[in-house]
A and B are shown apart, each in its own frame.
Chain A
C-alpha cells in the first residue's frame, strides 16, 4: 500500500533514491508473503475441530506440511525455546524458496542458511520478514551477513514489536494493525508497512500487515495430545504465531494428560484447534533453552557459529558440508542426533543450569 503519507524521514534518509524507488514499488504492489487473511481463514475453517489425538513423529508432520515455497513462521526468541528439532527435520527433508517469518532468531535461521550454502538445490531461503537474526552474546550471524551482503535473500525489516504484532494481527483475524513504532525510521521507507493519518486522532500512524505463515513451528514444554499447550517463562510470540499460521507443528518436551489441562485451563497458552501436529521430543530446543527444563548450550552455538564465520571469511564450505553430512544426514532422528552431538553428562549439566525454574506439569 502506498498512502502518500510519510513522516519527515523522507527529508533525512541517506538511503539512495534508487533503493527507495524499488522499496516504494514493493509497497505499491503489496502482497502477503504467505496466505492472505482470507486464505488463512479458509485453512482454519477447513480443519476438523474435534479433540483428536494429533501425536506423530516430527518427520511425519514435516512431510505433511512443509513444501517448497511456503512461509515458515519460526517460534521462540533468539536462543530461547527455539524449535530446533522441527527445523532439523526440515533441513533433512529439504525445502526450497522458503519465506521465513520471525521476530528474532539465531541457529534456526543459520542452520537453514548453512544448508543453502552447502546445497541450494536442497534448501533455499528466498526472503525473510524479520526484526533480528543473530546470536546476541555469542555474536552476529555470519551467514545472514553473507547472504545479505551478496544479495542472495530479500529482507523485510521490522522491529521486534512490529513482527510480533504482525503475528498478533494474523492471530486476531485482522489484515493489519496500527503501531507507534517504525515511523520516522528508515524502516518506514523500506519495509512493507504504510503510514496513514489516523481517521480518529489525526496522528500519523504506522500500519503493519498481518503475517500468516503457511506453517508455524513452535516448541513448548508441555501440551496434551490434542495440542493444548502450556508455556512457562517467556511466551515469546509463540501463541500468536501458532494462531496466525495456516498450520502449526508443535514439538513438546512432554505430553501431559488432558485432565491436567482442564484442571487449570487458564494455563493454556495455545488452544488445540490451532495445532495440527503434536510431536513429543525431549531436548527439542537444544542448544536453545527451555524454562523449567534446561539452559542454553553455549558451546554448540559457539562451535557452529565459528564454522559459519570461517566460511564467510574463506569461502571454503568443506567444514560446513561435513557438519551437515555427519549431524543431519548421518542421523535418522533427532534422538540419534542428540546422542551423537552432546555428551550425556552435558545434558545433565544443562538441566542443572536451568536452576529448577518453577513450572506446573500436572
Chain B
C-alpha cells in the first residue's frame, strides 16, 4: 500500500496531470512533467492520447524513452507526421489540439501565466526568463490549457508581471474573443498539493482537490488571491504502486524531472 510519504511532489504532479487527460485526444506537450504525464496516461487509462511536440511531430511512439526536450530526436520516433513548428502550430490553430500543457513562473486567478520575466519591468527585468517559447501560442489556440506550477505564494499572485500565455485576462466574458484567440482557455492548474479548475461563470480559479491531510484553508494560505472552493472539493487521488512503477521505470527512468537531477526553470 502506497502512502503519501512514498510519493514525491513531482510524481504527484505527473500522476495528476495524467488523470486529467481524456482518451482519444491530442495533447500539445511542453518539456518535462507534461511529457511524463501524457506517457503515463497512454500506459493506463488513455491509450489513444496522442502527442504533439512543437518541433513538429504528431503521435510518435516513445519507445526510445522519454524525450528530454520537445525538440529531442526521440520525440519523432515512429511519428505519423513529422514536419516543423509551423505545421503543428497550424494544426493547433485550426482546432486539432485538445490540450495545451504549459508551465510558467507566475499565474493569477484568471489563469494568465507569466514566463517572460519576474520583477522590474519589461525593459529592465530583475530576472529575465527564456520567453514565451511555444506556451503563448498553445495557451491561445489549444482548446483547453493545463498549467503546471509549484504551489507558492510568490507564484500564485494577484497580478502577473507580464501575461505571456493568455488565460481569461480580467475575467470578462469576451476577453479571449477580443484577443482574437481560438481556444476556450484555462482548464486545470496542477500543483503538488492541489488541483484547480475554473468557475464557469466568473472564470476564476477554483480549488477542486487538495492533498490528503491538507485542507482548503491550508491551500488558500499558499495562494495570494482569493480562491473559489468547489462545492464538491475532495482529496486528490494518490498514485498506486503500479503508477509509481510506470513513472519511475517506464517514463522518467533517469529521474531527470521526477528526481530533478537537472533543475529546469
Contact = CB atoms under 8 A, between A and B. Distances in A.
B74 interface: yes
Nearest to B114: A186
Q: Which of B135, B137, B175, B181 has the most CB of A within 10 A?
A: B137
B31 interface: yes
A132 B131 contact: yes
B81 to A, nearest CB: 11
Interface string A179-207: 11111111110100001000000011110
A132 B130 contact: yes
B141 interface: yes
A144 interface: yes
Nearest to B158: A14
A161 interface: yes
Contacts of B170: 8, 11-12
B54 interface: yes
B169 A184 contact: yes
Q: Main SS of the interface on chain A?
A: mixed
B74 A159 contact: no
Contact of A140 (B68, B174, B257, B265): B265
A168 interface: yes
Nearest to B67: A137
Q: Which of A148, A186, A234 has the most CB of B within 10 A?
A: A234
Contacts of A22: 123
Interface residues of A, number: 80
Given A179-B93, A184-B163, A355 B175 contact: no
A157 interface: yes
Interface stretch (A85-93, A288-296, A333-341): A288-296
Contacts, number: 255
Interface size class, chain B: 35 or more
Nearest to B53: A234
Given A159-B137, A240-B84, A137 B31 contact: yes
Contacts of B174: 8
A162 B32 CA distance: 23
Q: Which of A181, A203, A240, A289 has the most CB of B within 10 A?
A: A181
B132 A190 contact: no
Interface string B234-265: 00000000000000000000001100001111
B178 A80 contact: no
B162 A15 contact: yes
Contact of A19 (B73, B92, B123): B123
